Chains A and B, each alone.
Chain A
């Protein structure tokens, strides 16, 4: 009786919004990194779907509509960039250098660690674009011969982890300037790092948004060099 209802977008969207709202209440009450609302919500929904034996595709009827809104949300990042343009232009060179350094560090460390584990090439290539935003990472993975669905999963996990521990880790390292923290969050954890950064500081969030695009372009450009160097 209920199964036709589960296939409508109403199910996926409502389930996501209600769970997220509850998870946010919990997070406001106990603001622990482990209780990050995105992770708690995703974990609860996975559990719920598995227990009731509802396939992911039926949830996706609604989930895809929320995912679609990521597109205009990325466009909207142009507004905070415009509002803080004077500060950005005065720091253009440090921005480009820092994001480039982060892009190289990401590719080298991710592939290097997997090499130490003795992982096979398919896995390494899928991991290489891990810090880049989902749509760009998928394109890169496809181009260099990675496993595309695996790359998509790694990118989301990386973003969740970076968004969760990023601000605390940055403060531990003495990175407190919203400009530097924003670039670090956007370069390491793309949209999820940016979302977290926007909650902390508006300007930092705008810098994180800028570094999503920059990191994507830089990684796409330099990754073939590193792939050629792989044993």
Chain B
């Protein structure tokens, strides 16, 4: 577990350094994710080193968003002033993205003979 956590945090740190250094418009964690993938592929890390820590974080991913959700209260005034436009745009647009992405993925994957 500890080794896994050290690897995950270490790769995030490397990702943060790289994105800052190369001025990439990406969070360091996304680069860290790609580094973990590359490291596992290259045999630098073994699956059982990171498995426990990764499982713990991923099976509780939704919990980690709760504080950001509570943060909405700080901007309550701004949101209250534009609530109708914001809620219609956010919900309708989310449904449109789900439909466009899901349909095109399913259609293209089937066409590709899968």
B68 and A149 form a contact (CB under 8 A): no
B36 and A154 form a contact (CB under 8 A): no
The number of residues on chain B lying at the interface, defined by a beta carbon within 8 Å of a beta carbon of chain A, is 73
A56 and B91 form a contact (CB under 8 A): no
A216 and B102 form a contact (CB under 8 A): no
- A53 to B10 Cα, complex, angstroms: 39
A56 and B108 form a contact (CB under 8 A): no
Q: Kindly state whether residue B5 has any CB partner on chain A within 8 Å.
A: yes
Within 8 A of A (CB), among B9-52: 9, 11-12, 15, 25-30, 32-37, 40-41, 47, 50-51
Chain A residues within 8 Å of B32, by CB: 71-72, 74-75, 78
A12, A49, A64, A78: which has the most chain B beta carbons within 10 Å?
A78
Please report B residues at the A interface, Cβ cutoff 8 Å. Answer: 5, 8-9, 11-12, 15, 25-30, 32-37, 40-41, 47, 50-51, 53-54, 57-59, 61-75, 78-79, 82, 84-106, 108-109, 112, 114
A-B contact pairs, 29 of them (CB 8 A): A16-B66, A20-B63, A42-B66, A42-B70, A63-B66, A67-B67, A71-B32, A77-B58, A78-B33, A98-B104, A98-B108, A105-B100, A106-B96, A123-B86, A127-B86, A131-B97, A133-B30, A135-B29, A136-B30, A149-B75, A150-B75, A160-B65, A162-B98, A174-B106, A175-B105, A179-B105, A180-B101, A195-B61, A217-B26
